[in-house]
Chain A
């Protein structure tokens, strides 16, 4: 079943260019054929440790009910039951908006996946995961895996973080900025004196330290680039309705940005609040609400981009999963294995990719879901096969990724 017409990336771009006037898109000169491996990446990082056993629940695992007293969700077909994905896994009911993408083969779950870490610290796990060097000790490398990929690519604005302070994953490349509000990213003050004041600042920053000088260069170039897009007047396509939350509006801005074809290769958006030590609220609670927000926003993004999704891949990942056994507060402490989501044109989806380790006590790793797929396998395959990455040994130093067929 295909819900979206299949249009290749080039025809999407031609189509987008044709309505440039209406959307105030920049003038884009299209080459006769897009180079291979030019997909854009949207990285959604779920901060706090998302419980993969609640999002993509192994309802047929014989040990689920005993391992998760009080927190296991009903089976498919029962009230509040999980939604059928496979004979073994069910999707959290609040994630129902993602079902069409799954059914049309564009959404992949990778389960019992994660970073081979012994740490249960959020910050250590995130830092090492985002630096692309799990198990490296301390807080990993000073630069991020995504930044090292982008550093080898070209372009003025290669990547951006939809927020305030740049994340570890995006630290270490030129042409990457934190931009919470792309509509407001311009030279402030009286339009009549903008050009002259800008010259003053450009002159002043020429004599600053290298870090500030580079940041100023990026800022001026990005002001020019984003000034060509009418974010405030942007109307999503296909009747897409984003949740009225910061996450929803970041995804909406991202859609506008990618449609404008400015050369942005990666956007990171973070969604906080997954650290469910108390009251997981799998059904009708905190976890369900966050999952609903995530699913609605991603579904809207997919509708909005339409055929443009052929050139865009979304990765949803988190630093670790949560412990299998609940604590006294109906919550879950920090765990290990969890699931990743891949959504997009380049994804070989409609399935749950896993080498399921099982939930029997003897199958758990210190009480956690064991990790059988390294998160770097998933990311590296996407970078190499869809994003033109030729420096994967720098992106994930000391690791030889195993391609597991997550891409088409």
Chain B
């Protein structure tokens, strides 16, 4: 009984790692096993107290990441070079996912980037998304949902992309009013068309400072655009004359609404466990209500050891291309002098960050992505053949002096960790055995085949 329990606990840590990280990496695995499930989770829930030189180094590679919107505008926007901040942000997203020690934080950044999806290709969003990524998504990925939702509602990128920045009392633009109810909080079925119209009116006058302003991209409430009459929505009665507080109070109500709690609990449960487990959704929703949307508490309910005991072990969820690519870059010591071409590689797999053309974010179902295997195989072949400009791997160093007869197993351990899949290792080794000369080309093929095999497509 005790032996069985400890086997479960041990397996549980590797399972935890597979669910909350972008893939195998020996140092983090060692750390997790040393701390144990609960303490390791707690460490990951507090990213700010985790030193992260590798993640910081990524930020250092890309000047626009730390620029204000005004600086980005002056340096690139006025010259029409919007691709500079866009590609820098996309590449940084992938490299931070791969290299940061704050793995749970990065998994949540990806989650929230889709939940509050903004398409950089939509004119000004290309400039504004950098600030949104830094000050909304990353700053609040693990804070409280009311703060996250409020920050998003004040974000220039969001106000621009859903058109709210020009919405006036004379004729409100319903786009953002609808999506904040449908996509960002309550979800379908929990509001009426009347609520949409009232929400849009609550948010009239929520706009941002233009590029010509020294505080470009900062939130601005414009009273002359606001419909300051009384508002009634979702059982909430707001008197007239509240100004910006119409929106503020509505957002808080939305963030703490039981429907929001349950919907986000489901979505997060699916994100991490691959499936909606009713008991975990209930536990997480209960925490949401008890802590007023404290995301750490909600995540504890979903990811603590007892939560893993309730989640089905056998579920293997298909990684999206971003996750797939991050897992490769994470496992091996790539040199990335100028890795911006990785953004184009993600695009070739259909998953360029911050480029989903609709506000609902990239799809999160296996069915949507499972047809893209060929493009993953093609990416792996290019990457390991050192054909992705600016990203290099010393193939000789990866295999050292190991004899060719051990390469398949070695590649599996490096990329997947210590749980080999003989059904995959065996045919790769057979292929190697039939190839007479050990060469870098063969080393590259070994690695490409390993990540092209089915077990690397799921987490």
Contacts and interface: CB of A to CB of B under 8 A. Distances in A.
B447 to A, nearest CB: 12
B232 to A, nearest CB: 19
Contact of B178 (A120, A199, A212): A120
A294 to B, nearest CB: 16
Contacts of B349: 164
Contacts of A273: 357
A218 B366 CA distance: 15
Nearest to A208: B454
Given A163-B350, A164-B350, A188-B382, A120 B193 contact: yes
B449 A201 contact: yes
Contact of A275 (B175, B385, B458): B175
A196 B431 CA distance: 7
Nearest to B454: A208
A212 B381 contact: no
B424 A188 contact: no
Interface string B167-209: 1101111110010001100001100010010000000000000
Interface in B348-390: 348-351, 357-358, 360, 362-363, 366-374, 377-378, 380-382, 385
A184 B196 CA distance: 45
A107 to B, nearest CB: 27
Given A178-B350, A180-B350, A204-B423, A215 B370 contact: yes
B45 to A, nearest CB: 31
Contacts of B385: 189
Contact of A122 (B189, B358, B426, B434): B358
A218 B382 CA distance: 22
B358 A272 contact: yes
Given A120-B196, A208-B454, A331-B163, A138 B188 contact: yes
Interface in A267-323: 272-273, 275, 277-278
A185 B327 CA distance: 23
A71 to B, nearest CB: 13
B195 to A, nearest CB: 12
Contacts of B455: 208
A166 B449 contact: no
A137 interface: yes
A200 B449 CA distance: 8
Contacts of A1: none
Contact of A189 (B178, B188, B196, B381): B381
A215 B434 contact: no
A190 B441 contact: yes
Interface in A311-365: 326-329, 331, 333-334
Interface string B392-404: 0000000000000
B371 to A, nearest CB: 4
A212 B363 contact: no
A329 B351 CA distance: 32
Most chain B CB neighbours (cut-off 10 Å) among A142, A189, A275, A328: A189
B166 interface: yes
A121 B178 contact: yes
A328 B170 contact: yes
Contacts of B151: none
B171 A328 contact: yes
A33 to B, nearest CB: 34
A251 to B, nearest CB: 18
A115 interface: no
Contacts, number: 162
Contact of B368 (A165, A176, A197, A200): A165
Given A193-B445, A205-B454, A278-B163, A211 B173 contact: no
B318 interface: yes
A47 B377 contact: no
B158 interface: no
A203 B363 contact: no
A211 B168 CA distance: 49
A207 B454 contact: yes
B452 interface: yes
A207 B454 CA distance: 8
A273 B357 CA distance: 8
A212 B370 contact: yes
A204 B424 contact: yes
B238 interface: no
Contact of A200 (B358, B421, B428): B428
Contacts of B188: 119, 121, 124, 138-139
Given A137-B189, A166-B368, A178-B371, A277 B454 contact: no
B423 A272 contact: no
A357 to B, nearest CB: 20
B357 A328 contact: no
A201 to B, nearest CB: 6
A216 interface: yes
A272 B357 CA distance: 7
B448 interface: yes
B189 A200 contact: no
B457 interface: yes
B454 A204 contact: yes
Contacts of A222: 374
A24 interface: no
A121 B370 contact: no
Contact of B427 (A204, A275, A326, A366): A204
B454 A216 contact: yes
B74 to A, nearest CB: 26
Closest 3 CB pairs of A and B: A164-B350, A328-B171, A208-B454
Given A201-B377, A204-B424, 11 more contacts: A121-B178, A123-B358, A171-B367, A201-B452, A211-B366, A215-B373, A278-B166, A278-B173, A327-B171, A328-B171, A329-B166
15 contacts: A165-B368, A185-B374, A186-B374, A188-B377, A189-B445, A190-B441, A196-B434, A203-B423, A204-B453, A212-B318, A212-B454, A272-B358, A278-B166, A327-B171, A327-B173
